[in-house]
Structure 1
Amino acid sequence: MRSMWMLVAAFMFACMGVLVKLGAAYFSSTELVFYRSLFGVWITYLILRFYRLSIRTPHWRIHCWRGVTGLVSLLMFFYCLTQLPLATAVSLNYTWPLFAALFSTLILKEHIHWPLVVTVILGFMGVMLLLRPTVPDDQWFSGVMGIASGFFAAIAYINVKQLGNLGETEWHVVFYFTLISTVLTGVWLLFTSFSPITGHGLLLLLGIGLVATLAQLAMTRAYHQGVTLVVSSLGYSTVLFSSLWGVWYWNEILSPIAWVGMGLIVAGGLFSGIVGFRLAPTVTLK
């Protein structure tokens, strides 16, 4: 039952995707990332103060690298959410475990494990099937951005693992990520422009910040209390929840081939996690 917190997190992440798509009518994707991060940085700051944890860290270089790569991934993902069907955007972002499996060999200098190679090929076959029937010719840029969001997310997750090995708490990782995201997007918007905030737009921004924070809290509790492999597997229910939201709210009917592609992406990610779990501690995926 403790791993069921991941289902709560997955549902909240899917709700965040819905709110981001709705918020695109009022704000740019950069603004949405800014307000989402601003909400998160204050929440995590208050939590750190509540537990009387010091904000200082000796590992600021890795925090900066994780913050930048995570921000780039988030910007691309939010942009993809505003341009593509919800289920398609989420599925493309969830290619990050496939990239993480590759990075375990290319960046972490691990030995090549052929089961991982097979899962990566399986996942990227799913990407090709998902893109071809789902993304029109004039939206291929958005599709590439979705895949790139998974690429940078994988680097960010490797940085998170490194910070965990150095003893940094989850709250410090989230705090510095949201702080860096808020500062960088805020500076960018100062030199461009902020959209006016209407009553409806404000509700959407608060909703995005709230569900994103609740999702982070539920995911943190799931990883703390549940079995890692089970929790990671349940995380893919975000794709299912997003698909249901897309069908119900926007009538986003995907073709059978697209569903097969989504299934291959999920299967590739799940199998990469299973193989990595069995190879641990040789291969680090999270």
Structure 2
Amino acid sequence: MVTQDSQGGFRLGSGWMVVAAALFALMGLFVKLGARHFSSTELVFWRTLIGAVALGGAALWRRERFSTPLLRYHLQRGVIGYVSLLLSFYAIAHLPLATATTLTYTSPMFLALLSVLLLKEKLPSRAVAGLALGFAGVALLLRPTLSGEVWFAGLMGLASGFLAGWSYLHVRELGRQGEAEWRVVFYFALISTLGGLLLMLLERWHPVTADNVGLLLGLGVTATLAQLAMTRAYKVGRKLTAANLSYLTVVFSSLIGVWMWNDALSPSSLLAMALIVVSGMLASRR
């Protein structure tokens, strides 16, 4: 029997995921605006640096323990997640915001597929149907992209979704091992920051000025708050409901794209996005 308290917790979890979806969409806005001043590598570096400092400082304040016996899993997740984030930011910079966000949100499809290939899990029939719908949606969404000048950005967005799904396999394993949620987020931010610093040794740094520092702060703050809100949503609410509501990021991103850049979405693009969203929902029902 579902009690009133549990229903309140579920509603609270749903609310947190709506907040997280809106913040992730705003993060995409700051990425797209910031791409006029910084490279994708720089944007990822500043985004994760702000997150690492904020989360690390909060952990120090609470006197949390940073040591972990699961460092290998953190390293694997951090490297894969960092490359995924780098490709995602590149796609956002070069594609309409809604298209890039939707490609990134193919991660549940790839998570389900990798669970079968790597972990030998069996998928129910509805998840298999979801994967078929999802890949049909991807083909439909990428068709105009592959025939245009931004085909590379489209493939990078899809690769980002694949790597994000692979990263979530490690996140799931860390959760099974009982790792604290804050350490999962913190070590990802830390490893990504160090990786970005190494890559930036090969690039030219663009100056941070009074005109663009607000974009970096907005990027770091929205990304960190979105991550925390998402973590809270999964902790206090129904995981399946939270996973489904996460696709509101696609809706919010579409609205921002129309508002900021008059992005026009064709009927085929809207159909493709709907197929991918439904696919992710079905793939999550396992």
Match of 1:223 in 2: 234
Once residues 56 and 41 of structure 1 are traced to their aligned partners in structure 2, the CA distance between those partners, rounded to angstroms, is 15
Aligned position for 1:59: 70
1:95 is the counterpart of 2:87: no
Task: Indicate which of 154, 157, 165 corresponds to 2:176.
Answer: 165
| Cα pair distance change 1:127/1:141, threshold 3 Å | same
Distance of 2:176 and 2:111 partners within structure 1: 17
1:61-80 alignment to 2 at 5 Å? 61-80=72-91
- What amino acid does structure 1 have at the position aligned with 2:46? Y
**Is the 1:126–1:260 Cα contact (8 Å) retained in structure 2?**
yes
> Is contact 2:97–2:254 with CA below 8 Å preserved after alignment?
yes
Please report how far the alpha carbon of residue 134 of structure 1 lies from its aligned counterpart in structure 2 after TM superposition.
5.1
Greater mean deviation of Cα atoms: 236-245 or 1-10: 1-10
In the TM superposition, what are the counterparts of 1:21-36 in structure 2 within 5 Å?
21-36=32-47
Equivalent position to 2:28, from 17, 29, 32:
17
Give matches, 1:1-286, under 5 Å. 1-2=11-12, 3-133=14-144, 136-274=147-285, 276=286
| Contact preservation (8 Å) 1:97, 1:272 | yes
Q: Distance in 2 between matches of 1:110 and 1:136?
A: 36
Counterparts of 1:8 and 1:112 in 2: how far apart (Å)?
Answer: 31
Look up the SS of the partner of 1:182 in the other structure: helix
CA offsets per residue over residues 9-57 of structure 1, 9 Å max, x none?
Answer: 0000000000100000000000000000100001110121122211111
Identity of aligned residues (%): 51
| Alpha-carbon separation, structure 2, partners of 1:114 and 1:218 | 32
Distance in 2 separating the partners of 1:112 and 1:178 = 32
Q: Structure 2 CA distance, aligned partners of 1:180 and 1:217? A: 18
Partner SS state of residue 160, structure 1: helix
2: CA distance, partners of 1:17 / 1:190: 25
Give the Å deviation of 1:221.
1.2
C-alpha deviation, 1:192, in angstroms: 2.0
Q: Please, which runs of 5 or more residues in structure 1 have no aligned partner?
A: 277-286
Structure 1 equivalent of residue 6 of structure 2 = none
Moved over 6 A (4+): none
Classify the secondary structure of the residue corresponding to 1:240: helix
* 2:275 counterpart SS class: helix
How far the C-alpha of 1:139 sits from its partner, in A, is: 1.0
Figure out how many residues of one structure are paired with residues of the other and give that number.
275
Relative to the length of structure 2, the TM-score reads: 0.94
Distance in 1 separating the partners of 2:26 and 2:124? 36
Find the residue that maps to 2:149 and give its secondary structure: helix
User: Which shifted more, 7-16 or 115-124?
Assistant: 115-124
What SS does the aligned partner of 1:138 have?
coil
Give the C-alpha shift of residue 146 in structure 1: 0.5
Query: 8 Å contact 1:84–1:135 — kept in the other structure?
Result: no
Unaligned runs of 5+ in 2: 1-10
Partner Cα distance (1:168, 1:224) in 2: 14
SS in 1 for 2:68: coil
CA contact (8 A) 1:133 1:257 kept: no
